[in-house]
Amino acid sequence: MPGFFEKNKKHIAILILFLFLFWLVTYQVKAGRFTVLERPVLAVSGFVERIISGTYNAVISIGRGYVFLVRAERENLRLKNELGRLRLENQITNELLSENERLRAALGFMKLNSPASVVVQVIGKETSPSSSTITVNKGSSSGIGRDHAVITPDGVVGRVQTVLPGTSRVQLLTDPGNTIAVRVQRNREEGLLEGKLDRCALKYVSYYVDVQEGDLLVTSGLDGIYPKGIPVAVVTKVRKHEASSFQTVYADPVVRISRLEEALVLLK
Amino acid sequence: MKPRVYLIVALLLIPLQASLFGPLSLGGAAPDLGLAVLYCVGLLTGPIEGSLAGIAIGLTQDLGSASLIGFSGFTRGLVGLFTGLLGRRVLDIQSPSNIIFLFVISLVDSLFSALFLEITYGSVPVFGLFFGRAILRAATTAVTGYGILRLMTGKNVLAWIRRRELQKES
């Protein structure tokens, strides 16, 4: 018997390692994801991503005639950022206007305070078959913290998962571990939107709730992460099952994640 | 290969995948560099080293993403083990059939992940993911993996690894 173990010690060690990993995964399904060693890995990967992304962007910029159009490009970037902020303010204003009309309570003025934000550049996109994250080029030194909302002028991108001084990892809204409190803009029905890799799904929507294809889902603000009224996703499929008290609602993000280059991190 | 070489490879794979292969995506699906490299390592080194390399690469990918720690370690370890067995018993390393094998392995990997997420979280559009993203990802991964294999065989890496193995045995 000892001879068997001695002869197969490598195989036994690997079998134990597999069993340990299996236990680790099943444990996290119940207890939640471990966050050990996230920061050192992000430090190394973020550093290399910055170098590669910087080189890539530099080559692209030269290709676009950056040398001759430096001033125009800077001005363009500034105007783009300003346009983004204005579109965001416009969306929040529209949401407030809609709310006011619905309540028929146009009494007085409501001062709109845009949350402070930082413009970040995407330097890496992770493409694991089981999760969706991106890496951005700013971190805690710019005031970014864990669970800060990440948006674009079009809508929600996700939330900050891990932060280092000069880099952050953002968990996208399509990641299966990400949940956002939303409401249907049309009729104010509430729900929880969960990431499903390519798209999202509304959880625990009662069979009798009126949700239709084409409905816009906006943040409800109840999760304490995203400000109220930011567009999140558009309902693309509604399935009602006679045997279930819930319906299955799928929605596509309003932000084109695959084309994302810049985003805003809202500072709390 | 030495453990520290695997550690460096695993740590470099995340940023390379994220920043270099992201822009090369086809229809939103980029090649899975980790899987492609693991396939080559498994074929060249055998099941024991393949599974260890798979666990190391997978765990590093887990730490560098939002997925449950150990999930990719587990699946990639199995891939390393399987490709190691393939390399020892079935496949010729220089054969173009590696494209088909890697394509199938990538598809199975994506399908397994989608089914796991469906069981864990529910409401995952498994078929939509499979036909929408997994096939494209598998195709790009297979081509990338075969490219890496050709590069390695072209640069006499194979001869170097076999020489090292013989030195170890003697």
Q: What domains can you pick out in chain B, each with its CATH number?
A: 3-169 (1.10.1760)
Residue ranges of alpha helices (H) inside chain B are 3-15, 33-45, 47-63, 71-89, 97-121, 126-129, 135-154, 157-169
Whether A162 maps to a domain, the answer reads yes
Chain A, 85 to 114: residues with Cβ < 8 Å from chain B are none
The candidate with the shortest Cα–Cα distance to A237, out of A211, A256, A206, A258, is A211
B60 has a chain A CB within 8 A of its CB:
yes
Q: Which one of B30, B113, B128 has the shortest CB-CB distance to A198?
A: B128
At residue B104, the pLDDT reads 94
A147 has a chain B CB within 8 A of its CB:
no
* Cα A176 to Cα B63: distance, rounded to the nearest angstrom: 16
Res. B155: pLDDT tops 50: yes
Whether A234 maps to a domain, the answer reads yes
**What is the mean predicted confidence (pLDDT) over A140-163?**
90
**What angle in degrees, to the nearest 10, is found between the helix axes of B71-89 and B33-45?**
40
Res. A86: pLDDT tops 50: yes
**What is the mean predicted confidence (pLDDT) over A150-172?**
90
Whether A54 maps to a domain, the answer reads yes
B83 has a chain A CB within 8 A of its CB:
no
- Tell whether the torsion through CA atoms of B11, B15, B20 and B25 is positive or negative: positive
At residue A150, the pLDDT reads 93
Q: B110: which chain A residues are within 8 Å (Cβ-Cβ)?
A: 129
Q: Closest Cα of chain B to A94: distance in Å?
A: 32
The candidate with the shortest Cα–Cα distance to A173, out of A212, A228, A229, A231, is A231
pLDDT band at A107 (very low <50, low <70, confident <90, very high): very low
The candidate with the shortest Cα–Cα distance to B62, out of B112, B134, B14, B111, is B14
B20 has a chain A CB within 8 A of its CB:
yes
pLDDT band at B21 (very low <50, low <70, confident <90, very high): low
Interface TM-score (ipTM) > 0.85: no
* Site from A28, A131, A174, A203 to mutate, B interface, most B CB atoms within 10 angstroms: A131
Q: Which of A64-68, A81-85, A87-91 has the lowest mean pLDDT?
A: A64-68
DSSP readout, A148-184?
A: -EEE-SSSEEEEEEEE-SS-EEEEETTSTT-EEEEEE
Q: Closest Cα of chain A to B156: distance in Å?
A: 28
Which two structure tokens, joined as six digits, stand for A123?
């330097």
Instruction: Please measure the distance between the N-terminal and C-terminal CA atoms of chain B and give it in whole angstroms.
Output: 17
**Per-residue pLDDT tens over the stretch B50-70:** 899 899 888 888 877 777 888
Q: Closest Cα of chain B to A2: distance in Å?
A: 21
**What is the mean predicted confidence (pLDDT) over B16-28?**
68
At residue A234, the pLDDT reads 94
What is the domain range of residue A103? 38-268
Most confident range (mean pLDDT) of A77-86, A104-113, A126-135, B96-105 is: B96-105
**What is the mean predicted confidence (pLDDT) over B130-134?**
78
A137 has a chain B CB within 8 A of its CB:
no
Domain count along chain A: 1
**What is the mean predicted confidence (pLDDT) over A92-118?**
63
Coil, strand or helix at B18? helix
Q: Which of A172-186, A224-238, B88-102 has the lowest mean pLDDT?
A: B88-102
At residue B169, the pLDDT reads 64
Q: Has this prediction a pTM greater than 0.80?
A: no
Q: Which of A34-48, A119-133, A187-201, B29-43 has the lowest mean pLDDT?
A: A34-48
**What is the mean predicted confidence (pLDDT) over A252-259?**
86
Q: A47: which chain B residues are within 8 Å (Cβ-Cβ)?
A: 15
Whether A224 maps to a domain, the answer reads yes
Whether A132 maps to a domain, the answer reads yes
Q: B17: which chain A residues are within 8 Å (Cβ-Cβ)?
A: 126-127
Q: A199: which chain B residues are within 8 Å (Cβ-Cβ)?
A: 125, 128
Q: Which one of A41, A47, A175 has the shortest CB-CB distance to B63?
A: A41
Q: What number of other Cβ atoms are within 10 A of residue A235's Cβ?
A: 20
Whether A70 maps to a domain, the answer reads yes
Percent of chain B with pLDDT over 90: 14
pLDDT band at A47 (very low <50, low <70, confident <90, very high): confident
**What is the mean predicted confidence (pLDDT) over A126-153?**
86
The mean predicted confidence, pLDDT, of chain A is 82
Q: Closest Cα of chain A to B129: distance in Å?
A: 7
Coil, strand or helix at B62? helix
At residue A157, the pLDDT reads 93
- Inter-chain contact B73–A21, Cβ cutoff 8 Å? yes
At residue A265, the pLDDT reads 92
* Site from A18, A45, A123, A164 to mutate, B interface, most B CB atoms within 10 angstroms: A45
- Inter-chain contact A25–B68, Cβ cutoff 8 Å? yes
At residue A219, the pLDDT reads 93
DSSP readout, B28-41?
A: TB---HHHHHHHHH
**What is the mean predicted confidence (pLDDT) over A125-144?**
84
At residue B93, the pLDDT reads 74
Which two structure tokens, joined as six digits, stand for A146?
């864990």
- Inter-chain contact B117–A177, Cβ cutoff 8 Å? no
At residue A262, the pLDDT reads 85
Whether A251 maps to a domain, the answer reads yes
Whether A247 maps to a domain, the answer reads yes
Between B134 and A55, the more confident residue is: B134
Most confident range (mean pLDDT) of B13-17, B42-46, B69-73, B104-108 is: B104-108
B146 has a chain A CB within 8 A of its CB:
no
DSSP state of A267: P
Res. A109: pLDDT tops 50: no
A132 has a chain B CB within 8 A of its CB:
yes
A44 has a chain B CB within 8 A of its CB:
yes
* Cα B25 to Cα A109: distance, rounded to the nearest angstrom: 48
Torsion of CA A149, A151, A157, A161, to 10 degrees: -30
Q: Which residue of B has its CA nearest to A172?
A: B66
